[in-house]
Amino acid sequence: MQGTRSLFVPGPTNVPEDVRKAIDVPMEDHRAPDLPAFTLPLFADLKKIFKTDTGRVFLFPASGTGGWEAAITNTLRPGDKVLASRFGQFSHLWIDLCQRHSLNVEIVDVDWGEGVPLDIYAERLKADKDHKIKAVLVTQNETATGVQSDVSGVRTALDDAGHPAMLYVDGVSSIASVDFRMDEWGVDLAVSGSQKGFMLPAGLAIMCASEKALEASKSAGLARCYFDFQDMIQTNDSGYFPYTPPMTLIRGLRCSVDRLLDEGLENVFARHHYLAEGVRKAADAWSLRLCAKEPKWYSDTVSAICLPDGYDSGELLARAYHRYGISLGAGLSKVAGRVFRIGHLGDMNEVMLLSALAGTEMALRDLGVPIVAGSGVAAAQEYYRGAANGYSDLL
């Protein structure tokens, strides 16, 4: 097709031009004497993204799933009990990974469309008088259902129960897009990936571990080698890596971190909220409901939108892709066929999103979904136009 295909899946996200250029460099010597002058300030700046002074950042050549594995294997022992809730494909897969690593997962199943159940977590933690639970898992943003959870609320539940379990956060589709506070929320392990809020290709698991997690890593009993924190620490301390790092991605990361810090994290978060609101206005104008059941669960990085009965979101995606050149996110697992997703994270602005809404709208009408032509686009336009002097006007 002519023109560019447009990417509105919730990761990989669009890679900005300057980040692409930063990646497009000749191969370099990853043991060069001047490498630390590049890597050490980058590690320091990444800590700003996680909002931590005391945590330690790790970059593993992996995707987010590798980050999960690193978090678990470095800090826990076989048979350790972890508390986790399942409300979408990614929270499900994290639990599966824990189980395959022979952890004993206490699973709280929640309706897909809701998020981490703070009340149940609080009850379970209070009831666990012997402190058998070693880790509490939180998927901050369930990408499959467009549900955002309250990480600080989980910290409060832990503190109220006087419970020493570590707090693990999957921030793959939230960190660097929505607020995340490693130190303030007492997070022990945070996992992200390069291909979402960091606006890079997939290939880097970007993680942060607290001092408590690093202490646990000295005696954790699960097998690991490639993902060993201690090996990483030994080489990272002098600015190097224990094996060949993906230097092009790391060069790109320097540029994406600069972009995030130049824009200002609070502005990045405000922009994501504002863009998401426009998409929610469009869904409302189409009379289509979000998979997220209540506003408190609404995700600012991805909207999962339900189709009326009798329509197949797979067909919608195929039509949008082949006829209009846009990629939307599919419904996964339990919500396959019933939900489609619009990713609104990373390098994104109003006009880009309006094109996603216009393409979606045409594909919806082609399928026969009863929506009024232009209604979603108009609703989003009017919302965005309300921000006469920039989105801070609307927030």
Considering only residues 149 to 188 of the shown chain, the ones binding ligand PLP according to CB under 6 A are: 170, 172-173
Q: Is 299 in the site for ligand PLP (CB under 6 A)?
A: no
Q: For ligand PLP, which is the closer residue by CB, 139 or 217?
A: 139
**Cβ(116)–Cβ(150) below 8 Å:** yes
Q: How far is the CB of 290 from ligand PLP (least distance, A)?
A: 17
Q: For ligand PLP, which is the closer residue by CB, 195 or 381?
A: 195
Q: For ligand PLP, which is the closer residue by CB, 171 or 359?
A: 171
Q: Is 65 in the site for ligand PLP (CB under 6 A)?
A: yes
Q: For ligand PLP, which is the closer residue by CB, 101 or 281?
A: 101
Q: Is 193 in the site for ligand PLP (CB under 6 A)?
A: yes
> Pick from 183, 276, 243, 225: which is nearest to 59 by CA?
243
Q: For ligand PLP, which is the closer residue by CB, 205 or 285?
A: 205
Q: Is 360 in the site for ligand PLP (CB under 6 A)?
A: no
Q: Is 250 in the site for ligand PLP (CB under 6 A)?
A: no
C-alpha R_g of the chain: 21
**Cβ(272)–Cβ(278) below 8 Å:** no
Give the binding range for ligand PLP (CB under 6 A) out of 59-67, 107-115, 255-263, 318-326: 59-67
Out of 58, 90, 340, 383, the only residue in the binding site for ligand PLP (CB under 6 A) is 90
Q: Is 236 in the site for ligand PLP (CB under 6 A)?
A: no
Half-sphere exposure of 21 (CA within 13 A, CB side): 3
Q: Is 248 in the site for ligand PLP (CB under 6 A)?
A: no
Q: How far is the CB of 93 from ligand PLP (least distance, A)?
A: 7
Q: Is 359 in the site for ligand PLP (CB under 6 A)?
A: no
Binding mask 103-142 for ligand PLP (x = CB under 6 A): ------------------------------------x-x-
**Cβ(256)–Cβ(200) below 8 Å:** yes
CA dist 121 and 133 (Å) reads: 11
Contacts of 168 (CB under 8 A, 6+ apart): 71, 72, 82, 135, 136, 137, 138, 187, 188, 189, 190, 191
Q: Is 246 in the site for ligand PLP (CB under 6 A)?
A: no
Out of 7, 8, 9, 11, the only residue in the binding site for ligand PLP (CB under 6 A) is 11
The response to whether 341 counts as a known ligand-binding position is yes
Query: Residue 311 corresponds to which amino acid?
Result: Y
Size of the site for ligand PLP (CB under 6 A): 13
Q: How are beta strands 81-86 and 133-139 bridged, if at all?
A: parallel
Q: How far is the CB of 173 from ligand PLP (least distance, A)?
A: 4
Q: Is 197 in the site for ligand PLP (CB under 6 A)?
A: no
Q: For ligand PLP, which is the closer residue by CB, 348 or 364?
A: 348
Q: How are beta strands 147-148 and 141-142 bridged, if at all?
A: antiparallel
Return residues touching ligand PLP (CB under 6 A).
Answer: 11, 63-65, 90, 139, 141, 143, 170, 172-173, 193, 202
Query: Binding site for substrate, residues?
Result: 341
Query: Binding site, residues?
Result: 341
